Amino acid sequence: MSDARTAPFTDAECAAFNAYQNTHMFHPYTCGNDSTHRLLVCTTDGMTCPDCGYHQTWMHRFTAEFDEGSIPR
């Protein structure tokens, strides 16, 4: 991934990621094992599937910089 952020993430990047996941306006990050699992949740060491423990350590840069307030409503 050329335009990606990799773990460890900052608290601000985790907050941006988790806000992005909850917008439902964009395709969220899902489990790499089973896309019907719940959405990945970010902590500073990466994003984890709550259902099976699938772990991912990168996110697109725009996700790390996501600002909920910037969405046109």
Write out the residues near Zn ion by the rule CB under 5 A.
31, 33, 37, 49, 51-52, 54
The strand pairing partners of 60, in sequence order, are: 4
Cβ nearer to Zn ion, comparing 11 with 51: 51
Q: What totals of helices (H) and strands (E) does the chain contain, helices first?
A: 2, 5
Residue with structure tokens 């259902």?
Answer: 51
CB 64 within 8 A of CB 5: yes
Residue 35 vs 70, nearer CB to Zn ion: 35
Smallest distance, Zn ion to C-beta of residue 49, A: 3
Using the minimum distance from each CB to Zn ion, give the nearer residue, 51 or 67: 51
